[in-house]
Amino acid sequence: MEYEQETTSGLSLKMWLRLVKYFKQMKRQIFPALITVVLTTAAFSAFPLFTRYAVDHFVIPGTTDGLPLFAGAYFAFIVCVGTGDVMWVKLLMAVEMKIGLLIRRDSFVHLQKLQIAYHNVNSVGYLIGRVMSDTERIGGMISWGFSGFIEALLTLVFSITYMLILSPKLALILMIVIPVAGLVAWYFQRKIMVVSRKVRELNSRITGAYNEGITGSKTSKTLVIEDVNSEEFAKLSAKMLRESVRNSRLNAIMMPMVMSLGSIALSILLYRGGILVSREMLDFGVLSAFIAYAVSTIEPIVWVSGIMSEMVSAQVGIERVTGLQGETVTIADSPEVVEKYGDTFEPKVENWEPVLGGVTFDNVTFKYPDGEEYVLEDFSLDIPPGTTVAIVGETGAGKSTIVNLACRFYEPTSGRVLIDGRDSRERSQLWLHSSLGYVLQDPHLFSGTIMENIRYGKLEASDEDVIAAARLVAADTVADRMPEGFGAEVGEGGDKLSTGEKQLISFARAVLADPPIFVLDEATSSIDTETERLIQDAISHMLTGRTSFIIAHRLSTIAHADLILVVEDGRIVERGTHKELLASGGHYSELYKAMRIDGLSPM
Amino acid sequence: MEKTTIPKMLSGFTRGLKRFFLAAILAAAAASLLGFLSPLIVGFTVDSVIGDKASELPGPLMSLFETLSAGGNLSRRLTVCALFIACCALLAAVFNFTSRINMAKGSERMINNLRVRLFTHTQHLPFEWHTKHLTGDIIQRCTSDVETVRRFVFQQLLEVLRTVILVVIAMSIMFSLNVVMALAVTVFIPVILVYTIFFSMRVSKKFRACDEAEGELMVRVQENLTGVRVVRAFGRERYETERFDEKNINYTKMWTSLGGTYGLFWGIGDSVAALQLLTVVVVGSYLAATSSFTFGELVVFLSYSQMLMWPVRQLGRVMSEMSKTGVSLNRIKEILDSPAEKDDPEALRPPMDSDIEFSGVSFTYDEQPVLQNVSFSIKSGSTFGILGATGSGKSTLTYLLNNLYELPEGGGLITIGGVDVSKIEKSYLRKNIGLVLQEPFLFSKTILENIDISSRSRNLDRVREKARIAAVDENIMEFANGYDTIVGERGVTLSGGQKQRVAIARTLMMGAPIMVFDDSMSNLDMETDAKIRESLRSDTEGSTVILISHRISTLMRADTIMVLEDGRIAEIGSHSELVAMDGIYRRVYDLQSGYVTD
């Protein structure tokens, strides 16, 4: 998915039209920038006129009359052009950054709305690439690329116009050379584009390799595969070297070729011009101005073709970014729901009904978007508010599915999930999510302090509230071990803490949120028994009167649940209380016996 | 590793590449020379061929011209001139090509050396270094800082040389033609230097601010996406967006402000360049009108000052790039200067199937005491269990055993068969200690390649055998691509339990005489846990096994069990001894076995 091939070749207007909505928002930036670019370019190409004037009026007649005035005018002109230059860079940078700002924000907001299933199959690095570097490429193209294009094109047009006015006959010679040079440049640029795409792809693979090499360094050391990794990397890097040199070789051929075409034009010009001057059909001054133009037309041709090929590659960026923004949000609030309850960003909290915590599965059939088999079929279950539901089963048996559906991280393929008796699709997602306390098996912490991480559960909580929540689940012991206490940094993703410590903090985070529905997905798998025991009472006290889903391997955690669901191969094979299930002699009682065989008999 | 200077560091990467750079420089010089010849010939053509002034061409060229156009008419003479220019252009093209391609080969190879060196070095940096640096930051240095250096060497370095060559040649020719005019052109060079230095300093300062702002924005996006489930579960989308906006706007502001500086910089640069042209035109016109200065000479001067205009303008930009490159090189150097893990020259390779001994081990991490005076021994071939609360120092013990952390002076001694582990060759030590980490990392490769990564045996039967022991073979076969399923960030997401089992199989492939399981079955259900331990027992026959776990059922069969509390040994003994002792172990045992009646 990550290294998909870029497929477009030629320029496509349709692609660029997708950006129209941003252009509309930026009229105030774009127009002044455009005007500045046109005026400054026009002024720039008028410079040789001054030279010609000087030659005709001072050099040839051999007089200095009016020279100071000329110098003054020239100077004033330079000041104008200089000011234009300053404005140009400033305005264009503003355009580039503003459009980047708008596109990045839209992408980010859309990513916030996209369902979990989308995030599951798209790697973070790939999405970051779209939000950051692809956007940057578009911004750069729209500002510098377009202005360069306009500048180069205008320079060409002005130069050709001046030359036509000066001497149509000589201009004709250049007119023949320019298209030839253009063709050569275009031909090479297209070849270069193909190679540079390869280089870009290799580049992202190299970034990926660094990422993996660094994140996996502990594992690499324990397996003693540092040299294996380095060897593999060296191969990848050598491939990059080959492609880069190929890329440079094409460039190295193209530039001198186009340049020497220009020189050939110059030599023809000189020959024809010399003859014309000797026949007194042409002024010295005209010839010299002409030569200046001949030199200055070659470079813009190279630019134009360069920019055009860059535009094609920026187009790929547009394709990716608009592709991301156009990704369908499969779990979305309906317009009626948004009308009444507001959306994720503008909630209408005043219209929200309080969440009691009743969850009902009504004939739910479900399969994962990328799966082939149905995980649930015609599943019905009524969970009254305040029920503790434990889900038991083998690793990978699909225990999280029920939770994912209840939390509306996924929606049923058919059937309904009801919250407090109403289809959850008739409420906004935020309404439900604001009422969840979710503790995951792989607890994710954000970089920042312990205090900040717990406060994520309730942003307006005071320090005292945070500490109280931490104490309830013994997360304060983590802070106590740190010299900085609650102000201690947890590191990237909570890296500086052990898994057990991270679990305690994410537990405190959920407790602080004080939600009517709790989800504990292996929340204490890495916490030692004594600490678990310590917080057990607090947990059961907290869960009283709230609906909770508990996924756990430790039977001690499960035995007290009001309802136990036993999952096998993605199906619910047993349901009931601890006593009922033991009595029925099914899978659950076998599980229980397995532990007895292990020697830990109940006391 | 001793600290080096930047030039020393760079010369290490350019070893054997000097010929490319030399060829590039020589060819660039030749191309520049030819580039100068062209205006000379143009001037000569206008003055002496079309006009009638005495030639100022260098002697040899003049005689060549005379030979070729001997006795010819104007048309013939013009033809020769035109041919001269065309030849110059073609030769210049050839030299330009030679220069560019050699530069490309030299710089790309140099960057390749740098890339590989950085990767290899990060692989060999001690574990402690990795825990103290942010991944994103290191990656940024290894990629975008390297790219900055590459761009500078490849694009700008030659530009600097070309500019210097151009300025020197142009100045000497101009001075030889007309001193007054040459001086008029020269006046601007110090001006350019002064404002360039001024602006490059400002630009590099603002650049750094922009880079940091970008880094912060990147971190925001990365953390948001990595923690997307948490964001969703707490309904924090709006909060996250506000936080993103703050960084997004800041980033935009920084760059827009840099844009202002750049605008001023470039505007002034262009104006100065234009002023230079103005001076040449005005002074030239004056001279032409009042002295023997000819029109042809004026044309020559104009060509040269135009030719100088672009590189001199460019020089300013190059200098701001140069200061950026300096920043990047320093950031790269910081990584390379960090000392990598190194073996003692007299490192040993003692037999590893011997007793392990911890004596008086104390260890402090980040001013936080982790282990305090811990002593115990593990008999070769026995199973040793460790129980302890979260944060009691269990993992640290294993990191010390395989030398991921080094014991400081006076921190006690860890020996295997009587040999201090810090005296044992590191790769030998670690190859002989199969450690399964608590949160194992899987590489973006197929499952087969992941399990097979340490031995690279490509022996599917052996891989499957180990996977069966780890009770994961069945799960793997259920995937559409079986053992060829790609895992990791770019592939299928495995559940925590699946990951742990693949990691167990991977470690079993090492066939090490010492095996360490660091809470590596925490995400497995009891049944699977028991199943794995059962089959492990026969596979690890004769090996020394260290088990870290919170589950009594996992530990109880061990020959010796140690209980850690706050970095100290609280209890040590066999299961029955510990149960009889009425301490922590007994309490945990009671808790875990009391699940029914409790």
Contact residues on chain B for A125, CB-CB shorter than 8 A:
489
Which of B104, B134, B444 lies nearest to residue A212, judging by beta carbons? B444
The string of pLDDT tens digits covering residues B296-339 is: 777 777 777 776 766 666 676 677 778 778 878 988 999 999 99
Contact residues on chain A for B302, CB-CB shorter than 8 A:
51, 288, 292
Residue B169 confidence (pLDDT):
76
Reported as a pLDDT band with limits 50, 70 and 90, residue A8 is: very low
Q: In angstroms, rounded to a whole number, what is the distance separating the alpha carbons of residues B23 and A343?
A: 65
| Neighbour-count burial of A370, counting CB atoms closer than 10 A to its CB (0-12 exposed, 13-18 middle, 19+ buried) | exposed
Q: Is the pTM of this model over 0.95?
A: no
Contact residues on chain A for B90, CB-CB shorter than 8 A:
260
Facing residues of A36 across strands? none
The string of pLDDT tens digits covering residues A486-514 is: 999 888 778 778 888 888 999 999 999 88
Reported as a pLDDT band with limits 50, 70 and 90, residue A1 is: very low
Q: In angstroms, rounded to a whole number, what is the distance separating the alpha carbons of residues A375 and A395?
A: 15
Same domain membership, residue B401 and residue B328:
no
> In Å, how far is B3's CA from the nearest CA of chain A?
23
Q: Does B519 touch chain A (CB under 8 A)?
A: yes
- Enclosing domain of residue B147: 6-337
Residue B571 confidence (pLDDT):
93
Same domain membership, residue B380 and residue B270:
no
Q: Is the pLDDT of residue B145 over 80?
A: yes
Residue A487 confidence (pLDDT):
93
The CATH number assigned to the domain holding B271 equals 1.20.1560.10
Percent of chain A with pLDDT over 90: 15
Residue A397 confidence (pLDDT):
62
The CATH number assigned to the domain holding B523 equals 3.40.50.300
Where on the phi/psi map is residue A16: left (φ > 0), alpha (ψ -120 to 50), or beta?
A: alpha
Better pLDDT: A286 or B493: A286
Inter-CA distances, B297 with A267, B77, B276, Å: 19, 20, 17
Average pLDDT of the residues of chain A: 83
Reported as a pLDDT band with limits 50, 70 and 90, residue B590 is: confident
Domain assignments of chain A as residue spans, ordered by start: 13-325, 333-435+516-529+543-578, 443-514
Fold classified for A443-514: Rossmann fold (3.40.50)
Query: Do the Cβ atoms of B438 and A526 come within 8 Å?
Result: yes
Q: Are A114 and A327 in contact (CB under 8 A)?
A: yes
Residue B266 phi/psi, 5-degree rounding, is -70, -35
Q: In angstroms, rounded to a whole number, what is the distance separating the alpha carbons of residues B262 and B273?
A: 16
Q: What is the mean pLDDT of residues B369-388?
A: 92
First to last CA, chain B: 60
Tally the domains of chain B.
Answer: 2
Reported as a pLDDT band with limits 50, 70 and 90, residue B594 is: low
Q: In angstroms, rounded to a whole number, what is the distance separating the alpha carbons of residues B187 and A216?
A: 59
For chain B positions 326-365, those within 8 Å of chain A (CB to CB) are none
The sign of the dihedral angle between the CA atoms of A541, A542, A543, A544 is: positive
Instruction: Identify the residue among B144, B217, B232 best suited for mutation to test binding to A, counting A beta carbons within 10 A and taking the highest.
Output: B232
Which amino acid would we find at residue B138? I
Residue B311 confidence (pLDDT):
65
Same domain membership, residue B386 and residue B302:
no
Residue A556 confidence (pLDDT):
67
Reported as a pLDDT band with limits 50, 70 and 90, residue B55 is: low
Query: Do the Cβ atoms of B252 and A101 come within 8 Å?
Result: yes
Same domain membership, residue B258 and residue B212:
yes
Better pLDDT: B489 or B153: B153
Q: Are A342 and B237 in contact (CB under 8 A)?
A: no
Give the DSSP per-residue string, B415-449. Answer: EETTEEGGGB-HHHHHHTEEEE-SS----SSBHHH
Span of A376-385, B103-112, B555-564 with lowest mean pLDDT: A376-385
- Count how many residues are written for chain B: 598
Q: Which of the given ranges, A177-191, B209-223, B425-439, has the highest pLDDT on average? A: B425-439
* Strands lying side by side in the sheet with A359-366: A376-383, A359-366, A414-419, A422-423
Residue B562 lies in a domain: yes
Helices (H), A216-331: 217-223, 226-278, 284-325
Alpha carbons within 13 angstroms on the beta-carbon side of residue A447 total 14
Fold classified for A13-325: ABC transporter transmembrane region fold (1.20.1560)
Are A13-325 and A443-514 the same fold in CATH?
Answer: no
Alpha carbons within 13 angstroms on the beta-carbon side of residue A77 total 20
The string of pLDDT tens digits covering residues A377-404 is: 888 889 999 999 998 877 666 677 888 8
Reported as a pLDDT band with limits 50, 70 and 90, residue A85 is: confident
- Count how many residues are written for chain A: 603
Q: What is the mean pLDDT of residues A45-57?
A: 78
Q: Is the pLDDT of residue A603 over 60?
A: no
Reported as a pLDDT band with limits 50, 70 and 90, residue B3 is: low
Residue B347 lies in a domain: no
Residue B299 confidence (pLDDT):
75
Residue B344 lies in a domain: no
Widest Cα–Cα separation across chain A: 121
Query: Do the Cβ atoms of A482 and B104 come within 8 Å?
Result: no
Residue B514 phi/psi, 5-degree rounding, is -120, 125
Same domain membership, residue B403 and residue B313:
no
Q: Are strands B413-416 and B514-518 parallel, antiparallel or unpaired?
A: unpaired
The string of pLDDT tens digits covering residues B270-292 is: 888 788 888 888 888 888 878 77
Same domain membership, residue B564 and residue B506:
yes
> In Å, how far is B179's CA from the nearest CA of chain A?
19
Contact residues on chain A for B531, CB-CB shorter than 8 A:
none
Chain center to CA of B451? 27
Residue A599 confidence (pLDDT):
43
Q: Is the pLDDT of residue A596 over 60?
A: no
Reported as a pLDDT band with limits 50, 70 and 90, residue A601 is: very low
Q: Is the pLDDT of residue A124 over 80?
A: no
CATH architecture of the domain with range A333-435+516-529+543-578: 3-Layer(aba) Sandwich (3.40)
Reported as a pLDDT band with limits 50, 70 and 90, residue B474 is: confident
Same domain membership, residue B469 and residue B566:
yes
Query: Do the Cβ atoms of B263 and A87 come within 8 Å?
Result: yes
> In Å, how far is B542's CA from the nearest CA of chain A?
21
Q: Are B182 and B174 in contact (CB under 8 A)?
A: yes
Structural domain ending residue among the three candidates B304, B337, B370: B337
Which amino acid would we find at residue B205? K
Q: Which of the given ranges, A170-179, A576-585, B188-197, has the highest pLDDT on average? A: A576-585
Residue A594 confidence (pLDDT):
64
Same domain membership, residue B272 and residue B382:
no
Q: Is the pLDDT of residue B171 over 70?
A: yes
> In Å, how far is A539's CA from the nearest CA of chain B?
15
Residue B113 confidence (pLDDT):
95
Q: Is the pLDDT of residue B1 over 60?
A: no
Structural domain ending residue among the three candidates B284, B308, B337: B337
Q: Is the pLDDT of residue B48 over 50?
A: yes
Residue B453 lies in a domain: yes
Query: Do the Cβ atoms of B441 and A216 come within 8 Å?
Result: yes
The sign of the dihedral angle between the CA atoms of B198, B199, B203, B204 is: negative
Q: Which residue of B has its CA nearest to A275?
A: B75
Query: Do the Cβ atoms of B225 and A128 come within 8 Å?
Result: yes
